[in-house]
Amino acid sequence: MHSRQRCGTRSIAKCLCHRLLLILLCAVCIAPGVRGQAAGESNAPLVKKVEPPSWWVGLTPDVMVLLSGKNLQATHAQCNLREVVVSRTQSSVNGDYLFVWLKFSPALKSGTAVCRIVTANGETSFEFPIAARKQILGRNQGLSLDDVIYLIMPDRFANGDPTNDDPPEFPGSHDRQKPRAYHGGDLRGIEQHLPYLKDLGVTTLWLTPIVKNGAPDDYHGYGAVDEYAVEPHLGTLQDYQELVEAAHKQRMKVFFDIVPNHVGPLHPWVNDPPMPNWFHGTAQEHLSTFSPFPAAFYGEARKQGGADLFELLVDPHATPLMRKNLTDGWFFGKLPDMNTENPVVADYLIQNAIWWAETSGLDGYRIDTFPYVPRAFWAQWHEQLRRLYPRLSTIGEIFHPDPTVTSFFAGGRKGWDGIDTQLTTVFDYPLYFTLRDVLLNQAPMGRVTNILRQDSLYSHPDYLVPFFGNHDTPRFAGAAGVTPEKIKLAFAFTLTVRGIPEIYYGDEIAMPGGGDPDNRRDFPGGWLEDQNNAFVEKGRTKEQQEIFKYVQSLLRLRSEHEALRGGRLWDLASDDSAYVFLRESDEEKLLIAFNNGVTEQALELSLQDTPGGESAEIAIVFGNAQADLAGRQLKLVLPPQSLSIFSLN
């Protein structure tokens, strides 16, 4: 009665309806059979993603598969192939992830394993293709001293496939007028222009990351949301495989830009990690690479009594507390930092690198934000990769001007922490900073020798990668007061000094621009609608052709002269504007003379007690300098702003 009263008279019909509904619902809830079915539908296990998506026969004795989905609290897992045994499983508490460790028996043959996952609420399965390894000559080659690296940002180089410009899942992300939107360049565009790159004389392509990103302004590739998929704007996995194969056919190599330190802010793991300690911290609470310690870069803080962040990383007296912000902090406070101390995370990242190497045949990795990952991980990562790919090379990004910092991360020797990172080599950022100071800010030319003398800090200084520009630095040609002569000097030095040089796409045609993103303009001619096509001579302006020809000539010279590639470097003379050095191989001795000054310079030097001491003749090989050798006395006249190369016989 009370309830009738509460129902009131006006809405009595509605009230009764509610009651009826409640009774019906209760009946459904109480009936035991119905309960199971109703709950079973929403609790049924579901696999949405399998990482890695495939594997190979005879590659490793086991593999860890990460399944993403729903309700994956497995009570049992089994595959249909006898040679594929589930050794253990582990699900996340919420059931969104299941790790499945698979063990392969030696009798395993290629095929697709179908693995069944049983939970308290049902069952599901996933397919795991296991292929035979491709035994093709020229896969996973690694760097040699003969190489010249060319850095490409694929979105900005050439549009080989307009159909992928605006993928359905990223509507409106393509707009060439916006500097931070996708512009349409892709993997096919690179493949189509391999003949141009071959003709220029480079041997090795480094592409900025090609994995799938998540934001409309992630054209640069550094915001991964899927470590196993190719970014749809750039093409497909098949496009990447074909590019590597086509490059190998042209006797070129391909380097993959890998980012084990972090994923993009939109990665599904950020709000739902596979394990509670998958990242260093959580989306809500984490350290930032912005350290609370004195934070000026490039040695400035040291002068003020503090230390900069990278210096703390290499300092045996810095406490772990001081280092933690850099190794465990989220990059820029926003990029989720992988917890590589968690062995499951380490395995995930190592398998990811193996998968890309095996699936594509790539020749090496450029490793992003190298110092931000604890060194013990790098040792482990390299060890496992090299066991499978002994020749694979790695180049680490250590963005710092001090060789005592950069060399600490290069492999080949143990640091004070007892760790050898096994990194093949590093980009020569110290030489980059110095060269820019010399060419753009009137620093003495001789300062480069102050960097080069510190080659003693490296196990393999001949593998260092000199460069004067990349996607993170303002365009050299865009700097104030830069002339074609300056651009030529930048190339001349980078292509004749020791090491394996890197050229940033477009610098060979003096592409202008400022800082990011203006340093990432589209290569002219990469798009059908472009008015000028700098990929061909007749489409280049006079200045573009002048620089292109110069770079091409130097690269040809480099390919013809072993001394320019791997030859030992000997300093002969240096001052404010000049630098004269030898490159010596078993075959030949080349004398290289720079004049950064705006006036002609005459130099006189003795070859006594130098590797050129026994030479009787000097002959010009490149450039317009004059030389006169009388006994062991050498007189040089160097034209303003010039490079000249002589051979000593």
Interface residues with Ca ion (CB under 5 A) are 159, 161, 164-165, 184, 186, 261, 337, 372
Residue found by looking up tokens 């604890």 in the block: 374
Residue 97 · residue 274 · CB < 8 Å: yes
Q: How far is the CB of 170 from Ca ion (least distance, A)?
A: 12
Residue 354 · residue 388 · CB < 8 Å: yes
Question: Could you tell me how far CA 178 lies from the centroid of its own chain?
Answer: 24
Residue 365 · residue 256 · CB < 8 Å: yes
Report how far residue 627's alpha carbon sits from residue 621's, in angstroms, rounded to the nearest whole number: 12
- Which residues touch 284 (CB under 8 Å, ≥6 apart)? none
Phi-psi label, residue 370: left if phi above 0, alpha if psi -120 to 50, beta otherwise: alpha
Closer of 522 and 584 to Ca ion (Cβ): 522
Q: How far is the CB of 323 from Ca ion (least distance, A)?
A: 11
Q: How far is the CB of 100 from Ca ion (least distance, A)?
A: 27
CB atoms within 10 A of CB 637: 16
Closer of 261 and 434 to Ca ion (Cβ): 261
Q: How far is the CB of 259 from Ca ion (least distance, A)?
A: 11
How many helices (DSSP H) and strands (DSSP E) are in the chain?
17, 25
Closer of 52 and 371 to Ca ion (Cβ): 371
Closer of 308 and 522 to Ca ion (Cβ): 522
DSSP state of 456: G
Residue 601 · residue 593 · CB < 8 Å: no
Q: How far is the CB of 340 from Ca ion (least distance, A)?
A: 7
Residue 478 · residue 513 · CB < 8 Å: yes
Q: How far is the CB of 147 from Ca ion (least distance, A)?
A: 28
Nearest to 155, CA basis, from 143, 146, 164? 164
Local structure of 119: helix, strand or coil: strand
Tokens of 11: 């809405």
Closer of 173 and 359 to Ca ion (Cβ): 173
Report how far residue 361's alpha carbon sits from residue 242's, in angstroms, rounded to the nearest whole number: 10
Closer of 164 and 544 to Ca ion (Cβ): 164
Closer of 184 and 221 to Ca ion (Cβ): 184
Q: How far is the CB of 184 from Ca ion (least distance, A)?
A: 4
Q: How far is the CB of 57 from Ca ion (least distance, A)?
A: 34
Closer of 165 and 358 to Ca ion (Cβ): 165
